[in-house]
């Protein structure tokens, strides 16, 4: 991991999201810590952990954006992955110890296509032991390294899209679009098992998180360069832009005053939105004020969940 010079003074930056193109060797925590240092201690978080060996899109939440992480982590994600057949590892990826090697000559294209088709759609997935999931405050991977086994439960996930993009001997290149909570290395291990030869995740790049694409991503070094010339805001996505998938409700000046105090407001057009849907509340000047939840009834109300302007969030 290359050293990055940190800012000596706090850099003035707005609230929003930086799309980092994470390089291999960095943990998600490394990236947060480095950017926090570059910004002189500004509040920084992330939405969606990437393993150290993985690369690609890591959304960094700056300032008030840390309050809306829950709205980003639920987005679908897209990956480019390489499945290596014939080798099973204890971590389900290339960082682990090889437990078994099997000849893969019998895996023909027709058999591969059939297995790929089986892994599309809603399904159950068992989270791997080597993961950051915590039990009683202790990550599973620490238990795994100590030779302990933690009782785990399968999770509901959805593989929206799964296709083979290239085959190079025993290495199968995949494009995956999936729901939150999906472990691509577990997907690869399960596919290898279904093919009867085992397998593990050889490499992984996240190319998209929701609407945030790798083409918009910056390395930490590029962010440092923007800090040096005072242009970080030029690459910072505003909260309004990042949350654009949420329906917008424009409030009057009187309603805006209530919203900023966290008080619910009435809305005569609630039938436009499904029950309990999240909405953006904006004033008549187009300023994003808060995020609320509609109750879904005609002439219903909007409960204020997050106030995003003024002082600290009320939630």
Structure tokens at 315: 């939630």
Task: Return the pLDDT at 139.
Answer: 52
Strands 237-238, 16-22: pairing is antiparallel
- Using 50, 70 and 90 to split pLDDT, how confident is the model at 270? very low
CA gyration radius, the chain: 22
For helices 184-194 and 109-118, the axis angle rounded to 10 degrees is: 130
Distance CA 229, CA 147 (A): 49
The per-residue pLDDT for range 228-251, each reduced to its tens digit, is: 999 999 999 999 999 998 889 999
* 99-102 LR contacts (CB < 8 Å, sep 24+): 100/198, 102/196, 102/197, 102/198
Please name the fold of domain 77-209: Pseudouridine synthase (3.30.2350)
In the chain, where are the structural domains located? 16-74+211-241, 77-209, 246-307
Task: Return the pLDDT at 22.
Answer: 97
The per-residue pLDDT for range 101-154, each reduced to its tens digit, is: 999 998 999 999 999 999 999 999 998 876 555 555 555 555 555 565 666 688
Checking if the pLDDT of 88 tops 90, the result is yes
User: Whole-model pTM above 0.75?
Assistant: yes
Element (H, E) at 293: strand 288-294
CATH classification (class only), 246-307:
mainly beta
- Using 50, 70 and 90 to split pLDDT, how confident is the model at 309? confident
Which has the higher per-residue pLDDT, 7 or 50? 50
Catalytic residues: 51
Element (H, E) at 225: helix 220-229
For helices 220-229 and 28-38, the axis angle rounded to 10 degrees is: 10
* Domain spanning 16-74+211-241, CATH architecture: 2-Layer Sandwich (3.30)
* Among 42, 77, 79, CA closest to 61: 42
The whole-chain average pLDDT of the chain stands at: 87
The per-residue pLDDT for range 163-193, each reduced to its tens digit, is: 999 999 999 999 999 999 999 999 999 999 9
Alpha helices in 11-101 (DSSP H): 28-38, 69-72
Cβ neighbours for 312, distance < 8 A, ≥ 6 positions apart = none
* Cβ pair 72, 48 in contact under 8 A: yes
Checking if the pLDDT of 276 tops 60, the result is no
Using left for φ > 0, alpha for ψ between -120 and 50, and beta otherwise, residue 128 falls in: beta
Task: Return the pLDDT at 296.
Answer: 64
Judged by average pLDDT, the poorest of 32-46, 78-92, 125-139, 206-220 is 125-139
**16-74+211-241 and 77-209: identical CATH topology:** yes
Report CA torsion sign: 255, 259, 265, 268.
Answer: positive
Residue labelled with tokens 């009187």: 254
């Amino acid at each position: 991991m290359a050293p990055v010079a940190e800012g000596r003074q706090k850099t003035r930056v707005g609230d929003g999201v930086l799309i980092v193109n994470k390089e291999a060797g960095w943990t998600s925590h490394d990236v947060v810590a480095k950017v926090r240092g570059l910004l002189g201690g500004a509040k920084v978080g992330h939405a969606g952990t990437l393993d150290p060996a993985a690369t690609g899109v890591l959304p960094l939440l700056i300032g008030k954006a840390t309050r809306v992480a829950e709205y980003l982590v639920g987005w679908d994600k897209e990956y480019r992955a390489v499945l290596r057949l014939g080798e099973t590892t204890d971590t389900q990826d290339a960082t682990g110890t090889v437990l078994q090697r099997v000849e893969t000559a019998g895996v023909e294209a027709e058999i591969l296509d059939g297995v790929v088709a089986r892994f599309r759609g809603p399904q159950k997935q068992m989270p791997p032991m080597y993961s950051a999931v915590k039990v009683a405050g202790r990550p599973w991977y620490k238990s795994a390294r100590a030779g302990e086994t933690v009782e785990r439960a399968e999770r509901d996930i959805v593989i929206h899209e799964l296709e083979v993009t290239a085959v190079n001997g025993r290495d199968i290149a995949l494009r995956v679009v999936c729901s939150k909570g999906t472990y691509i290395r577990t997907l690869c291990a399960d596919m290898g098992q279904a093919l009867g030869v085992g397998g593990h995740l050889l490499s992984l790049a996240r190319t998209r998180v929701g609407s945030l694409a790798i083409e918009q991503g910056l390395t930490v070094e590029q962010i440092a360069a923007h800090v040096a010339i005072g242009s970080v805001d030029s690459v910072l996505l505003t909260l309004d832009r990042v949350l654009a998938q949420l329906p917008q409700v424009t409030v009057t000046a009187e309603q805006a005053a209530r919203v900023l105090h966290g008080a619910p407001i009435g809305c005569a057009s609630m039938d436009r939105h499904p029950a309990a849907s999240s909405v953006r509340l904006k004033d008549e000047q187009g300023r994003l004020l808060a995020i609320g939840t509609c109750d879904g009834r005609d002439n219903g109300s909007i409960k204020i969940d997050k106030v995003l302007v003024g002082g600290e969030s009320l939630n």
